[in-house]
Amino acid sequence: MAGITDLGVGIGWRSEIDLTVERLPGVDFVEVVAENLHIGRLPESVTLLLERGVPVLPHAVSLSLGGADEVDLNRVEHLGGIAEAVGAPMVSDHVCFVRAGGLDSGHLMPVPRTKDALDVLVANVELAQRNLPVPLALENVAALLEWPGGELTEGQFLAELVERTDCWLLVDVANLYANARNIGTDPERFLDEIPLERLAYVHVAGGVEHGGVYHDTHAHAVLPEVLGVLDELCSRVKPPGVLLERDDNYPSDTEIATELAAIRAVVDKHRG
């Protein structure tokens, strides 16, 4: 995929920390939440970053591709519009559902790992891809719940998805860790099962343990264990990009820079 070979280390652009993102050294690329942007009116900060030549990648949270409803083409169009406005080489969303039965969870809910669900997901993804101007990458989510009657592991599920739709994968290592803690899945097995050559880039995020459960909050420091999963991934494939995601409780600029540096250290460790 053109322009995707070496994104480097990046950070999620958020309006609360826009000046921080602009001023941080060592930000190679950024990601924006597509639903938060207007196509005709990009934030000044994003325009500034684009002028500097920093790649801006749109990330969606509302397509609900794993939902039973046919994907909403308005949302797809918006995502495509943002991609064009920022000249992005690709876009992304998640393997999840958000809405069902007329209700909105406001969250990325895991889908059943069954053939049925996969068929519906594939149909939605293909429809979305036909209506997007750039390639689509899909991200694995953190699940507190497991659907009964699962037929495939998460890795197998994604592998089949890639096989049938030719989409890319956005691997969130914090979510892999969360699932290991909460539903006993194995990150290494996941990495074994997915087609690593279809890796678009990686997400890293923080979370917190609470009540015996790990919560992927994006509002806390990145755990060393999560960097450990990143390390495991980097030992198998060179990720085209790694992005730090933070959505709330932003720490000082220094702390953010330190987290980015820690991520970069893991990535650089595996360079030839």
Partner 1 sequence: MVTPMTSQGTQLTVEQVGYLTAGPGRAAETALARLLDAGLVRVSREGLVSAVHLSNCGAITPLEARTLSRARTGARFDQVVRSTAFSTEMKALHQDLLDRRLLQRPRHRNPAWGFSLTLAIALFLLGFVAAEFFLAVPIALLFALWQRGRRAVTRQGRQALLHVSATDRVHNVAVYGFCGKVNRRPVADEFGLPQSVVKMLPLKKHRKRQSSSDGGGSGCSSCGSGCGTSSCSSGSSCSSGSGCSSGSSCGGGCGGGGGD
Partner 2 sequence: MIDDNDSPAARERLAAAQAELLNALLANGPAPAGFDEQRLDVERRALLSKRRGIVRMLGPAVADELGERFRPLFDAYAVAHPRRAGSRAREDAAAFAEWCRAAGELPVKRKARWKFWQSN
H-run or E-run covering 190: helix 187-193
The C-alpha atoms of residue 3 and residue 83 are separated, in whole angstroms, by 14
Residues touching partner 1: how many (CB under 8 A)?
62
Cβ-based nearer residue to partner 2, 97 or 201:
97
Residues 37-66, interacting with partner 1 (CB under 8 A) = 37-38, 43-45, 59-64
- The answer to whether residue 87 forms part of the interface with partner 2 (CB under 8 A) is no
Out of 1, 5, 19, 147, the only residue in the binding site for partner 2 (CB under 8 A) is 147
Least separation in angstroms between CB 67 and partner 2: 7
Least separation in angstroms between CB 202 and partner 2: 24
Residue with tokens 């949270």: 61
Least separation in angstroms between CB 54 and partner 2: 27
Q: If 0-12 CB within 10 Å is exposed, 13-18 middle and 19+ buried, where does residue 15 land?
A: middle
| Beta carbons within 10 angstroms of residue 261's beta carbon | 12
- The answer to whether residue 184 forms part of the interface with partner 2 (CB under 8 A) is no
Pairing of strands 103-109, 97-100: antiparallel
Q: String of b and e for 72-107 (b: at least 16 CB within 10 Å)?
A: beebbebbbbbbebbebbbbbbbbbbbbeeeeeeee
Cβ-based nearer residue to partner 1, 69 or 116:
69
Residues touching partner 2: how many (CB under 8 A)?
33
- The answer to whether residue 17 forms part of the interface with partner 1 (CB under 8 A) is yes
DSSP-derived 3-state class of residue 150: coil
Residues 218-247, interacting with partner 1 (CB under 8 A) = 218-220, 245, 247
Site track 53-72 with partner 2 (rule: CB under 8 A), x = hit: --------------xxx---
Residues 128-187, interacting with partner 1 (CB under 8 A) = 139, 141-142, 144, 172, 174-175
Cβ-based nearer residue to partner 2, 28 or 160:
160
Q: How far is CA 178 from CA 16, 115, 209, 218, 266, in A?
A: 26, 24, 10, 12, 20
